[in-house]
């Protein structure tokens, strides 16, 4: 059994981490921290977690270093980079779900997140936690920087075509749609039920912080510059994220070839399903599960390759993927604690 | 490993049975039957069940008898009573989720379900599958008749007070609210998204078939006649069922005593949580989980005891409870395959 | 044209008042006040109100008295009672949507609202603004106290049977269900989309402030004491409120008689529809409209009369009813500005 | 008063036409036809339309020709083209909401709709019913072919930039999202609440019949060929449609210029609002209203102009726009019967 601590456990991602680790066959959940909710029992804040017999404690880096073999950081950006060096020094493996170590380039981080980076020396060491792209690096990492929810879906949808060359680098449009849990637990006018329900809206057009992260992943896959347009939308559902990706098809590409590229690329992946040719996934299929379902369709008329990827933003887009990374880092079977199916309906 | 077959597996309850049994540590899912969807792969009908490598087959009683040690019947009423005698004769244990064996009295069945009962000799043998009330009988049963979704929640809410006598038999009101999955998979005007969404409505007032089933359970608990009024409502959500039960409080009853009755009654139950005094459960807390969460509040002014019970209508209200009964019948740990928590949000 | 001002116009009820008055053929909307949003344009806060060419202003009682012939107060309780005497003194007619003038008895107000009443002398003069019950008084009133949303539906459902005597005073259960807009515009954990969506919960059992208001109305109708149990529930929809009322039926009452009582009682009412015998209304039918739809069903077995009433909590339960009262007070046709039908779906 | 008949009035679009015409100050609703629901009262099928005192009648072209000065056809494609010639011959003005007269080219119609066109001679005469583009033609038309819901939003979003030249013809992506009412009233697996709720999915990628209609409109605006990719999505809400349009920006284009093009283009339009620069509309803002709200944002990094347009698919996307066209054809004020605001929330 490996001892785990969740730092920042009272938010939605932290709560899902709590659920997954509490049920993990190889991990023991030693502590859950929260500054705002210290002293509150987990099952009082999240009655669904009725069998989790813990209360939130104030985060204390020494205590975490002492208790944890692996630490999951579900804290806001800027809060993680202060903790990470001290945890690594203490020999703790770190799975960071914040944005602090997602970029190689501190300047890019500082431009988009408006904060100085206090641990730039670790940016080179950190491995991007998208196992379908960087599994090998994760296995050897001390520090994994888990992708954002939008980048997870966008890259799973786009990478195979760009790597293979069936889609051209150049203009790529990622039109993404997320359920409201992606906005986090803090109540706000935009997450009020009355505002979000029965409504649909684009937001942060050309200004969302996940854009440079997606662009970086696309460019690695393509080996070339990509002109990305990323537009996220808020959708009236609790969970679920769909990325619809539009890429310019290579001359002569057929639907059968395009589908084949995806089918082969993800053949061995335990958590990715490529639907039969032309069939599109729904977010409901993956609700609560650590899965990505992918659909591939070439638009012959406009020579555009359309790929959609559906994930649960809190699981494959956050907590589940973090556990998947930890499984790889710690030598567990990659699917341990993550093989639950989504409810049938 | 015990071999299981799900008969009528293509409906919502059947699909949830498929999910739970496919993940059960002690059961092997040998076959799933469906008349309408024979030949279709499970994962094509329910993409969430991506890892279930089976196709639906026509139901054939000889094949079921050969393949199954335990058979789960998720077929409509009247369809089950023809199958059950032949399966029992073949030595198969049967968990019937239909209404066919819920009543002791064939005449009552015939009045409410409008059909002759073809196996009345088995009505006495069948055990009502509500483990919190009849666990001992289930352990020894060949045939378990699982409760309807509304009776499950209503009885969990009402039984402790009536058994103990803190609530008086007499007038009991059960105002129940269900998500739309309770209406089943067949598309109809009433289950169209546009009809059901953003709407709320009582239906089958004083005419729902679960009323006599609830009344029977209340009367056993109270040891006396009960004048039940049962009104179900359709609520715009996929899953979840809440029963709000109103009972006349015994003279002198206090909130502390009432809560104590529930707390003690359910202290050892693995799947029932009684919330702290006065706190009411939400259906979201139990979504996807085989759990019932209960809240207890005495209205001092009107001397009415109000108890609410929240369940997932497809799990504790159907498929999960059926697996719970099968665990008891087959000698498994009662929680095997059922310990998944609801998502935190 | 009569000049109107909405005080406290930035909340949901205030916004619906703004919409209705802006489209009213006989009223001119002179000002909308808001302390928190002073200076903001109405159409910036509520883009749906795109054609309302006003900005919120700080509430100033002298300005209101100068501008308004009729003032609508959509402020929280305790805020209204300070304004009302000064507005009445200035000759302004007042439609108060707060709770401040709903009770005859200042002590009852003080017990439930936890505040001293600063204008008790006006409690006798204020007329309860439920036109289906007190139309004549409203016509002559200077001050109308509009009912809460729950009392509106509960009383419309219960009053005819209690007045007529087909239901007995005694135990009355009101199980009510409201959409989330009833909780108001302030973001909170309970109104977060992720909390409220796909969930259902009873709240403030035996402790909701609308209980004494409902009880008072029932007792006036029955001419006797009533033991009311009132349990509100939060339902995952934006608008809509359904009250399900359970009353003890008079001996010998038939369904036909019960239905007839309601049908006759509401025959001339412009905003109440009694559905054909046994048919139950949905909240969607009245969405956005100033209407109440009523269904009546006697449960023969338990001798309980079940009546459900569906309203839009923000319209017939708040803003629409206020305009209806103002129409009566000001001598307009009662349906002026209120004849819009709900969308067909 | 002008006499109107709605043909095919029992579907969702027909029901909204019924509502709008019943409340229109200049139209008298003479008849509503339905083959499937003949004999049923409107208020029984749609309880929201409680004050509409009509029953559906079998469609009879002679009766329609006799009763109607203007006929609204809300029938499926292929059903309209048989009726239109006979109605025009009888001197009836026709507003056709089907696809039968939307294309100039019968071959294009036949390819996408799989049916021979029986009235190709009228294709040249029919005017496309998007007043913001073809108001003048509508004013003189006998026959107006109303756009589909997706084309309405897509063209309102794209036309100004293509007409003006601030966006280049070439690759245009229209990623559109619709509420479930767009799928029509017939119950089906895809419109079942349990399927559609809490889910999101692309469908008919590169295969939706609205694609050629959108392409035709874009090409007229651009005066050049356009390579359109159109992907519709189903969103878990009843009403509302958002089109997110991606166009290649002209060299040197600034955000201020782009916004200015839209602001000027729609300055006089009674039903179109261009939000302040960079602000994006939500579908809730226009729910139930005959409005389109537009947001404009240049993505400087990728030189892509992103424009979103929000409409109510059943109003500006169908019934409301049809009434708007009829107002223009009949010489009414264009906003007659259409000035209702969306509910504030």
Distance CA D296, CA D158 (A): 10
- Res B20: pLDDT: 97
- Exposure class string for C49-86: b at 16+ Cβ within 10 A, else e: bbbbebbbbebebeebbebbbbbbbbbebbbbbebbbe
C187 and A189 within 8 Å at the Cβ level: the answer is yes
pLDDT tens for each residue of D62-111: 999 999 999 999 999 999 999 999 999 999 999 999 999 999 999 999 99
Kindly name the residue from B146, B149, B325, B330 that is annotated as catalytic.
B149
In Å, how far is A13's CA from the nearest CA of chain C? Answer: 13
Q: Is D188 on the interface with B (CB under 8 A)?
A: yes
CA atoms within 13 A on the CB side of D105: 7
- Res A250: pLDDT: 98
In Å, how far is C235's CA from the nearest CA of chain A? Answer: 11
Q: Calculate mean pLDDT across residues A128-135.
A: 98
B contacts of C287 (beta carbons < 8 Å): 198
**DSSP β-ladder status, D143-145 and D241-249:** unpaired
- Res D278: pLDDT: 87
Q: Which of A179, A205, A306 is closest, CB to CB, to D205?
A: A306
- The pLDDT of residue D47 is above 90: yes
pLDDT tens for each residue of A136-178: 999 999 999 999 999 999 999 999 999 999 999 999 999 999 9
DSSP B219-232: HHHHTS--EEEEEE
Q: Is D98 on the interface with C (CB under 8 A)?
A: no
In Å, how far is B256's CA from the nearest CA of chain D? Answer: 40
Residue with tokens 């001798």: C303
DSSP code for A121 = G
Q: Is A344 on the interface with D (CB under 8 A)?
A: no
- The pLDDT of residue D304 is above 90: yes
Backbone phi, then psi, for C91, in 5-degree steps?
85, 15
Q: Is C191 on the interface with A (CB under 8 A)?
A: yes
In Å, how far is A314's CA from the nearest CA of chain C? Answer: 12
Q: Is C291 on the interface with D (CB under 8 A)?
A: yes
B185 and D192 within 8 Å at the Cβ level: the answer is yes
A283 and D199 within 8 Å at the Cβ level: the answer is yes
D contacts of C181 (beta carbons < 8 Å): 345
D contacts of C54 (beta carbons < 8 Å): none
- Res C340: pLDDT: 87
Q: Is B229 on the interface with C (CB under 8 A)?
A: yes
Distance CA A58, CA A54 (A): 13
- The pLDDT of residue A278 is above 90: no
Q: Of all helices (H) and strands (E), which one includes residue B11? A: none
High-pLDDT (> 70) share of chain B, %: 100
Q: Is A276 on the interface with C (CB under 8 A)?
A: no
In chain B, residues 231-250 whose CB comes closer than 8 Å to chain D: 236-238
B contacts of C173 (beta carbons < 8 Å): 173, 175, 246, 304
Strand-by-strand arrangement of the B304-311 sheet: B201-202, B227-234, B167-178, B241-249, B304-311, B292-299, B272-274
**DSSP β-ladder status, A93-96 and A143-145:** parallel
Name the token pair of C319. 């803003």
Q: Calculate mean pLDDT across residues B244-252.
A: 98
DSSP code for A124 = T
pLDDT tens for each residue of A233-265: 999 999 999 999 999 999 999 999 999 999 999
Burial class (CB in 10 A: 0-12, 13-18, 19+), A276: exposed
C187 and A185 within 8 Å at the Cβ level: the answer is no
- Res A340: pLDDT: 87
Q: Is A43 on the interface with D (CB under 8 A)?
A: no
pLDDT tens for each residue of B114-171: 999 999 999 999 999 999 999 999 999 999 999 999 999 999 999 999 999 999 999 9
Closest CA relative to residue A298, chosen from A308, A307, A285, A289:
A307
In Å, how far is D68's CA from the nearest CA of chain A? Answer: 36
What's the complex ipTM?
A: 0.97
- Res D113: pLDDT: 96
Helix/strand/coil for C72: strand
Is residue A333 among the annotated active site residues? no
- The pLDDT of residue D340 is above 90: no
pLDDT tens for each residue of C237-273: 999 999 999 999 999 999 999 999 999 999 999 999 9
B300 and C242 within 8 Å at the Cβ level: the answer is no
In Å, how far is A289's CA from the nearest CA of chain B? Answer: 9
In chain A, residues 130-159 whose CB comes closer than 8 Å to chain D: none
Name the token pair of C171. 């135990």
C contacts of B232 (beta carbons < 8 Å): none
Q: Calculate mean pLDDT across residues B258-274.
A: 98
A contacts of B281 (beta carbons < 8 Å): 47
D contacts of B180 (beta carbons < 8 Å): 193-194, 197
C contacts of A181 (beta carbons < 8 Å): 194
- Res B341: pLDDT: 85
Query: Using CB atoms, which chains have 3+ pairs under 8 A with C?
Result: A, B, D
* Chain C residue nearest residue D282, CA to CA: C47
Kindly name the residue from A146, A149, A325, A330 that is annotated as catalytic.
A149
Q: Is C12 on the interface with A (CB under 8 A)?
A: yes
Q: Is D263 on the interface with A (CB under 8 A)?
A: no
High-pLDDT (> 70) share of chain A, %: 100
Residue D341 banded pLDDT, cuts 50, 70, 90:
confident
Task: List, in sequence order, the alpha helices (H) in chain B.
Answer: 12-22, 42-45, 61-67, 79-89, 106-113, 131-140, 149-164, 193-196, 210-222, 255-265, 320-330
Name the token pair of D84. 């239109």
- The pLDDT of residue C278 is above 90: no
List all residues 6 or more positions away from C163 whose beta carbon is below 8 Å from its beta carbon. Answer: C221, C222, C265
In Å, how far is C115's CA from the nearest CA of chain B? Answer: 22
B345 and A282 within 8 Å at the Cβ level: the answer is no
Query: Using CB atoms, which chains have 3+ pairs under 8 A with A?
Result: B, C, D
Helix/strand/coil for A162: helix
pLDDT tens for each residue of A311-326: 999 999 999 999 999 9
- Exposure class string for C124-136: b at 16+ Cβ within 10 A, else e: eebbbbbbbbbbe
DSSP D287-313: TTSS-EEEEEEEETTTTEEEEEEEE-T
- Res B251: pLDDT: 97
pLDDT tens for each residue of C198-211: 999 999 999 999 99
- Exposure class string for A149-169: b at 16+ Cβ within 10 A, else e: bbbbbbbbbbbbbbbbebbbb
C contacts of D12 (beta carbons < 8 Å): 344-345
Cβ distance B47 to A293 under 8 Å?
yes
Kindly name the residue from D149, D325, D330, D333 that is annotated as catalytic.
D149
B contacts of D187 (beta carbons < 8 Å): 187-189, 191-192
Distance CA B8, CA D223 (A): 58
pLDDT tens for each residue of C291-321: 999 999 999 999 999 999 999 999 999 999 9
pLDDT tens for each residue of A25-55: 999 999 999 999 999 999 999 999 999 999 9
Q: Is A47 on the interface with C (CB under 8 A)?
A: no
DSSP A211-261: HHHHHHHHHHHHTS--EEEEEEEE-SSSS-EEEEEEEEEPTT--HHHHHHH
In Å, how far is D321's CA from the nearest CA of chain A? Answer: 21
User: With a threshold of 0.90, does the pTM exceed it?
Assistant: yes
Cβ distance C65 to C41 under 8 Å?
no
- Res B124: pLDDT: 96
- Res C82: pLDDT: 96
- Res C341: pLDDT: 85
- Res A341: pLDDT: 85
Q: Is A50 on the interface with C (CB under 8 A)?
A: no
């Amino acid at each position: 059994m490996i001892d785990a601590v969740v730092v920042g456990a009272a938010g939605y991602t932290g709560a899902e981490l709590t659920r997954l680790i509490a049920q993990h066959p190889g991990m023991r959940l030693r502590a859950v921290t929260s500054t705002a909710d210290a002293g509150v029992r987990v099952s009082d804040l999240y009655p669904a977690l009725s069998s989790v017999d813990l209360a939130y404690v104030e985060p204390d880096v020494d205590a975490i270093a002492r208790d944890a073999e692996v630490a999951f950081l579900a804290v806001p950006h800027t809060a993680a980079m202060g903790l990470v060096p001290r945890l690594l020094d203490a020999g703790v493996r770190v799975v960071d779900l914040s944005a602090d170590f997602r970029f190689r380039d501190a300047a890019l981080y500082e431009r988009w997140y408006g904060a100085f980076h206090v641990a730039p020396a670790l940016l080179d060491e950190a491995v991007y936690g998208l196992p379908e792209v960087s599994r090998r690096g994760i296995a050897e990492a001390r520090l994994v920087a888990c992708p954002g929810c939008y980048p997870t879906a966008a890259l799973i949808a786009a990478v195979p075509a760009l790597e293979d060359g069936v889609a051209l680098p150049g203009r790529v449009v990622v039109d993404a749609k997320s359920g409201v849990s992606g906005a986090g637990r803090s109540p706000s006018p935009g997450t009020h039920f009355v505002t979000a329900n029965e409504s649909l809206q684009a937001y942060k057009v050309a200004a969302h912080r996940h854009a440079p992260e997606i662009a970086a992943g696309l460019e690695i896959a393509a080996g070339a510059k990509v002109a990305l347009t990323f537009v996220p939308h808020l959708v009236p559902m609790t969970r679920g994220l769909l990325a619809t990706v539009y890429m310019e098809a290579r001359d002569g590409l057929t639907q059968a070839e395009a589908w084949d590229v995806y089918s082969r690329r993800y053949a061995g992946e335990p958590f990715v399903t490529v639907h039969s040719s032309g069939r599109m996934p729904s977010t409901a299929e993956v609700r609560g599960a650590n899965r990505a379902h992918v659909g591939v369709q070439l638009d012959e008329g406009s020579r555009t390759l359309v790929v959609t990827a559906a994930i649960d933003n809190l699981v494959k887009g956050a907590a589940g993927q973090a556990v998947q990374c930890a499984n790889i880092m710690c030598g567990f079977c990659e699917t341990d604690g993550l093989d639950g199916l989504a409810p049938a309906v």
